[in-house]
A = this chain, B = another copy of it.
Amino acid sequence: MEVGVGFDENDYLSCCGSTKFAKEMAAASPFPSYHRALTVAKHIWFNIVDVNGWLQAFSAHPSIGQPRPPSHASATSAEWSIGEQSTALATSTASSLQELAEWNARYMQKFGFVFLVCASGRSTESLLAELKRRYANKPIVEFEIAAQEQMKITELRLGKLFTSKKNISSTTDT
């Protein structure tokens, strides 16, 4: 049985908010495996999507510590953001959330896009430390780091997509 047959642009857009990425992934579908989909996704993200597409994908993320999504993020993307930030939120205090909000604002002011980090399983303290460290970077350096973090997030989300599809397929097949 082949998995991944039924994914469309909107599914891929929930993994990564660049419309070019989503279109190219849909055009390259179906994939025989998650592994193959991931290889293609990395190629598309780092070689095909242009810098405007990177900025578009970044803008689909909520600020860390503030998992209310941007209004143009999909419902699935919004739900996944909340899940990815669950450890951070569970380990936060009012003062650490306040400090995170202040540093998020400083970061946005300097770089022009949201602080992007693959937050899964990470505490507020560790995310805040990373934000402060990365704040010192040059804009172009930080732009590339953010793109790498986006790819880590995309990788996790593609995994969720394939897992959910597999479950649905298995259920249907039995």
Contact = CB atoms under 8 A, between A and B. Distances in A.
Secondary structure of the A side of the interface? Answer: helix
Interface of A: 46-55, 110-113, 138-140, 143-144, 147
A110 B147 CA distance: 18
Number of copies: 2
Contacts of A46: 138, 140
A110 B143 contact: no
A165 to B, nearest CB: 30
B110 A140 contact: no
Contacts of A54: 139
B50 A51 contact: no
Contact of A112 (B47, B52, B138): B52
